[in-house]
Amino acid sequence: MSTRRIDVGEVRLAITEAGDPAGEPVVLLHGFPEIGHSWRYQLPALAAAGFHAVAPDLRGYGGSDRPAAVDAYAAPKLVGDVAGLIRALGHESAHVVGHDWGGGLAWGLAGNLPDMVRSLTILNAPVGPVSARLRREDPAQRAKSWYMLLFQFPGVAEAWLSADDFANLRQFVFDTAAPGTFPDEEREVFVEALRRDGALTAALNYYRANMPPASWLRDPPDPPPVPVPTMIIWGEADAYMDPVLLERSAATVTGPLRIERLPGVSHWVQQEVPDRVNELLLDFLGSL
């Protein structure tokens, strides 16, 4: 694996890549509060299968550029970064894999620019408008989404997450996974990335730009249909996402659809059961 920074349009993203650059591109998008390192198990497996696997640190994260303005993290700009990355790699389309926020961006790219997506693989991530609607309608999902309102408070959210050497963040993220998923050295990789100047605020700006409190009071727009071949991998022991999000997000797919439910697996699916995720991902990509 190697790393570099690449100009994708408005910003430069740090990427980790593996495999032959002439291979079919697979772009893997991480979620909150991670970096491209969250795909450390998938990159070599994809490379060994002949793909060119690329995992960026998304805008604001890790070694990527960190704009200061909240509105710099609005979804159209974030989706634009992914489109820009695919083009900067020398392609007009790629296989796109996304988890959590990265999955939301992957849904957005496939729904709005489907010609850029050869296939879509989603790991525990809902379609944005589906999530917004369910937060309004479903008490169970609203309770699971409590942190999204906390994250709206500048300074307060940062202090809560980072106090006592990021104790609350460690509990909120790492302790919701199966034991052994995040050994101490891996926890430190992610925490250290958030200690960089402005990194924690940039990560929280994803929520502030796209889920402001007023948005909880209005109906979201209908999501666009997703016509590309899609696989959804869903850990059913997710502490933050109700399985209804899977069902309603799947309903937006008009192309070929495959759903893989993983009982007892947490939100952090590709890190908790990497061998199973790799098996499913390679089987899906090989079937196209």
Question: What is the domain-level CATH number for residue 226?
Answer: 3.40.50.1820
Computed over every residue of the chain, the mean pLDDT equals: 97
Catalytic residue among 57, 100, 238, 242: 100
How many C-beta atoms surround the C-beta of residue 26 within 10 A?
A: 28
Catalytic residue among 30, 52, 95, 267: 267
**According to the model, what pLDDT value does residue 216 have?**
87
User: Rounded to the nearest 5°, which phi and psi values hold at 162?
Assistant: -95, -10
Which residues, in sequence order, are CB contacts of 103 under 8 Å at separation 6+?
29, 31, 122, 123, 124, 125, 126
Annotation marks residue 81 as catalytic:
no
User: Domain tally for the chain?
Assistant: 1
Annotation marks residue 41 as catalytic:
no
| 89 band by pLDDT with thresholds 50, 70 and 90 | very high
Single pTM value for the model: 0.97
| Domain region containing 122 | 2-286
Catalytic residue among 52, 65, 207, 238: 207
Annotation marks residue 207 as catalytic:
yes
Closest alpha carbon to 240 in 106, 124, 121:
124
pLDDT > 90: percent of the chain: 98
